[in-house]
Structures are given as structure tokens and as C-alpha cells.
Amino acid sequence: FSFLESGDIYQITHKHNQINMYRGNLIDGGHSNIYLRIKNKGITKLIRTQSPSLFIINDNHVSYRGSFLELDYQLDLIISDLGWRYKFSCLNKISDDIDLFYIQDIGLADINAILNSEAYTAQYLDYRFNNQELSITQNQGNYQNLKITSNHNIKGFSTDGLDFFGLNYKYNRIPQYLYLDLPNRIRQGESAYIALQTSPTKLVLDKTIDFMVSYNDQNILDKSLPKLDKVVKSPFIYQVLNGNKINKPKGYEILNPEYSDEGELLSFFTKDHCHIVLQQKELIQERSTGNIILTGNFVAETNISSSTNWMNGIFNSHFVLGNTNFNKFLSVNRNQIVTNSLSGQRIWLKKDDEYKLLNIPSYFEMSFNYSKWYYQFDDDLIEITSYMEYGHLKNHLTFKSHNKIKYDFIVTHQILMNSNEDQGDISYDDNFDLVFYPSKNSLMNQVLANMKFGIESDKYEFTKLHGFDLPGIIAMRYLRSDLELVIEGVYEDFCNCEYSSFEDSKIDFKKEYLNFTNHLKFEIDNDFNRYNHLLYWYT
């Protein structure tokens, strides 16, 4: 077991295998947790981040102790040779029924296999629920099995994150099924979160509710605990900031629209073949809306730089130059629910005296070389653009307040300079612009030792706000109404050349795509016209 200083679980490993799926961080906490629900009164996490618990290190176990509403409680995590056990106890009497939800992210695979693709790993997990016990087996690679049960009656279970978090989690970060009951079904999805729900009870003082977990790979579990003297920092607690819902974006000619069963506009194309997705569509689909943008020599397939933009506030991710596995600059969005708030490039906007994570916009515009996020608020419209330059290996991120309101905001980047997170030290210079160099132990360094990435930006200051002071996290704070930030990847030296503007790049990319398609156009007055749009998206 490895713990963050907050008391959240970072990682559970045995030899080269990772038992959990996702590594925790100081913003989101660990992905494994136990929720306490007091009937008709409230719900809280018990394990550290965004919980009322105090984290206590003991000789052979850790404890989370706190108070929620009228209840004083203690949760002990005890690690043994064959697994671990959570013991929940009430420290005083209350008259209300309580129940617990235990959620655990499941990996059961080689660490590198998980980091390569969590979704792929999840699809090879087999689930069986029988006699109050949930059994999970990894069907690819070496045999690994996890069994989870309780000393208390299990009322409900689920085996995929969507059956615990629900689709609205993307919008409000509140697990939907905490306010319902778990669906009691096995779902073989791409988000390997299991959940167990106990039956409601009035717990007496000398009784506990336990969750027992046993791990088997025909070996034993490493039961070492971290050597921490005390916890000195409290977790960083944040909220997300979504754009207002709008029914119809202004300034577009709406072509080939898509409507909900209730007649609500969900998405459409424009005369320039852009695709516009409204917030209401993002909230009813399981997979998030994304767009891959590229620049470079498409014909020779050399010197290509690419980035993935996600509608739910990931402005750049999986930013690479050349090889998409080894030459990563920015980290990857790891799952469809987006439970990691630090992946890729993010923006934290200060509103009501706290930094809030920009999340789902009012609508999202995608084109060949750019993506745009429009956040409509009561007093302003914030427009954020990520675009690739034509002819240069550069990406521009722009931030614009339409009412010229000066904002206090932070742009965070999770830097890799390797294949995955936490695989080596990250070396960079910050004399003027930021220049990042390959990690010494990376294939990038072995094959392309002169490769480097740079960030050029308007005036900023580094921030060490707790939660952002993590290895690989670069947090840049601004006080402005607009911003331009440029990321460039090069094999040798940076290009000392003028920037190509957004409008010029947009025109040049459109010409390039027209040449690729030989100016092909269908002229049929029916739904077949939509292929004029799709033609560009599949070229």
C-alpha cells in the first residue's frame, strides 16, 4: 500500500502488478473510498480528501476518525498477508439508520499494461457475485483474483463506474447512486469500479461493519505501510464550474441537426463542416465528446504533432510529437468518467473566493485543427480555443472574456516527457519560457535525446497551491481577461518564426483538406448531404 500525505490511497501493488486501477492525487484523493449515508440526513466520504476525517498512522494499520452530523466514527484499514480489511465503528449512539458504500477501482494487471490502457484492462475482468461475495478475476496475463465481502448483509452491488457514478457525475461530480440503491447487475464496461452497499442498520457501539478483501495470485501481498510521522497538510477541496445551459447557440447556420426524443437540440454541423455539441448531449452519452487535432506533414507522415481535446474541460491531453506512446508531453485522459482532475491541460477559475475547475461548457465546437469551448455565465461569455498552427509544430491555447472581465485563474499541465506518469524525473528550464527535456530513463531520451517541448506564455507566476505541488504538475497563475499560451515540440531546435494566427491556420487547413478530397461535394437535397460534413472528418 502507498498513501498520499493526505491519507488517500495512491496505489496498491504486489511485485510488478497493480491491484487498484487508478493512482490517487491530492486534488481528487484516492479512487477507493467508503461512503457513509445517514438516512434522510446526509452522505460523506470517510477516507480523507473531501471528508471530515483525521488520518492517523498506527503501528500496523491506519485509521480515519471524524464526526459527521451527530455521529462520531472511526474507520480502520488493516493490512494482512492475504489482503486487507476495513472496520467501521460508531463512537456514539444515534437514532438514525446508516448504510455504507465501499467502492474500489480494480486493475489486477501488470503496472505497465494498466498505464497503457485502463479501458482495455477493464474489459478483461470477470465478475461473479454469489453468497454475499464479489469475485473479480483478471482473464489476461497471469492469474489474479480479488474477493470482497462483508460481515454485514450486502444489499446491492455494481461492477462498473457508470453504475455508481452515473452520467451526471461528469457535470456535478456527485455519484448518482449514492442517492439511490446500487443496481445489482454485472456490467462489463471500460471503467472498473466495483461498489458494495450494506443494508441499513442502527449500529451499536460494540459492533462493526467490515469489508474484507482477499487477494490471490498464488503468492502473498506486500503489507508494508508508508513511514509517515504525521499529516501536515489538509486536502485541497474544489468544485467544478460548468457553463449555463443554452438551447441554441447564436451566430451559426444550423445544418443536419440532431434532436432528443423531446425535441431538444443536441448537436449540428455548420457550413464550414464544424461540429457543434451542446451541453445537453454530453450529459446523456456514456463517452465524452473529443477531438484529435494534428499539424505537420500529413502526406509523408513525418514531423506530426497531435493533441486530444475533450469537451469536459481537458483543453489539451496526450500531446505528442511523433510516436504517440513514447513521446508524450502531456498526460492522457484515463477514463470516460474523468475522475482525475489533473490529467492533461486544465483551467481553474477563481469564483466566489475559490478556484473552480472549468468543466462542461455551454457548447463545444470542433473543426479540423481546433476546438472551442464556450462557457456562458450570467455576466460573461468565456471562449477558450485550442488550435494547431498550419506549417509549424505548435499548439495555441487562448482564453478570452467577451466582456473583458479580468479573472484570477490557474492553468495546470501534467507533464510526462515519458510514456506514463511517475516514470522519472522531469527536467526543465524556466529562465524565460519553459523548456522540458526527456527523462533520463525514457525511450525518448535514448532515441531522440535532443527532443524537447516548450511552453511560451503571457506573464504568469508559478503557484504552489496545495494539491498542485506534485511531481510533474506545472501550475501557472494569471490575472487577465485574455491569454495566449503556446506549446511546441521539436526534434532539435525551436523555430524562431512568426506565429500563424487562428484565422490564417483555419483557412490553410481547410485548403489542405479540400486538396485531400479533390474538392468532392455531394449535391443531393436530402439527408445524404450530411456526408459532405462527414467526408472531412474521415479524411
Same domain, 393 and 439: yes
Same domain, 208 and 300: no
Would residue 286 count as lying in a domain? no
Would residue 224 count as lying in a domain? yes
C-alpha atoms less than 13 angstroms from C-alpha of 301 in its C-beta half-sphere: 2
What letter does residue 502 receive in the DSSP assignment? H
Would residue 260 count as lying in a domain? no
Cα 450 to Cα 431: distance, rounded to the nearest angstrom: 19
Q: How far is CA 31 from the centre of its chain?
A: 11
Q: How many domains is the chain partitioned into structurally? A: 2
Cα 110 to Cα 284: distance, rounded to the nearest angstrom: 33
- Give 30's contacts (C-beta < 8 A, 6+ positions apart): 4, 8, 9, 10, 24, 47, 48, 49
pLDDT tens sequence for the chain (539 residues): 999 989 999 999 998 999 999 999 889 999 999 999 999 999 999 998 889 999 999 877 999 999 999 999 999 999 988 899 999 999 999 999 999 999 999 999 999 899 888 999 999 999 999 989 999 999 988 899 999 999 999 999 999 999 999 999 999 999 999 999 999 999 988 999 999 999 999 988 889 999 999 999 875 555 555 444 334 344 556 799 999 999 999 999 999 999 999 999 999 999 999 999 999 999 999 989 999 999 987 766 668 999 999 999 999 999 999 988 899 999 999 888 878 899 999 999 999 999 999 999 999 999 999 999 999 999 999 999 999 999 899 999 999 999 999 999 999 999 999 888 877 788 898 876 899 999 888 888 899 989 999 999 988 888 877 778 888 999 999 999 999 999 999 999 888 888 889 999 999 999 988 888 888 888 877 677 788 888 888 76
Predicted local confidence at residue 230, as pLDDT = 39
φ, ψ at 121 (rounded to 5°): -60, -40
At 122, the amino acid letter reads A
Contact 459, 468 (CB under 8 A): no
Cα 239 to Cα 106: distance, rounded to the nearest angstrom: 26
Q: How far is CA 169 from the centre of its chain?
A: 12
Predicted local confidence at residue 231, as pLDDT = 41
Per DSSP, the chain holds a count of helices (H) and strands (E) of 7, 39
CATH code, 229: 2.70.98.40
Predicted local confidence at residue 229, as pLDDT = 39
Q: Which of 237, 268, 301 is the last residue of a domain?
A: 237
Would residue 276 count as lying in a domain? no
Closest by CA to 43, choosing from 24, 15, 71, 83, is 71
Cα 279 to Cα 272: distance, rounded to the nearest angstrom: 21
- Give 353's contacts (C-beta < 8 A, 6+ positions apart): none
φ, ψ at 334 (rounded to 5°): -90, -20
Predicted local confidence at residue 376, as pLDDT = 98
Which residues are bridge partners to 351 per DSSP? Answer: 354
Closest by CA to 193, choosing from 148, 154, 141, 153, is 148
Same domain, 193 and 312: no
Predicted local confidence at residue 300, as pLDDT = 64
Helix (H/G/I), strand (E/B), else coil: 53 = coil
Contact 245, 361 (CB under 8 A): no
Would residue 272 count as lying in a domain? no
Q: What string of DSSP letters covers 445-481? A: HHH-TT-EEEEEESS-EE---TTT-STTEEEEEEEES
Contact 39, 100 (CB under 8 A): no
Same domain, 211 and 305: no
Same domain, 100 and 193: yes
Cα 121 to Cα 18: distance, rounded to the nearest angstrom: 11
Closest by CA to 272, choosing from 343, 368, 357, is 368
Same domain, 352 and 214: no
Which residues are bridge partners to 194 per DSSP? Answer: 104
Would residue 503 count as lying in a domain? no
Burial class (CB in 10 A: 0-12, 13-18, 19+), 345: buried
Q: How far is CA 91 from the centre of its chain?
A: 36
Would residue 277 count as lying in a domain? no
Predicted local confidence at residue 470, as pLDDT = 81
Same domain, 213 and 307: no
Same domain, 473 and 456: yes
Same domain, 297 and 176: no
Same domain, 325 and 232: no
Domain that holds residue 84: 2-237
- Enumerate the H helices of 345-496 as residue ranges: 443-447
Same domain, 70 and 195: yes
Predicted local confidence at residue 165, as pLDDT = 96
Same domain, 213 and 302: no
Would residue 270 count as lying in a domain? no
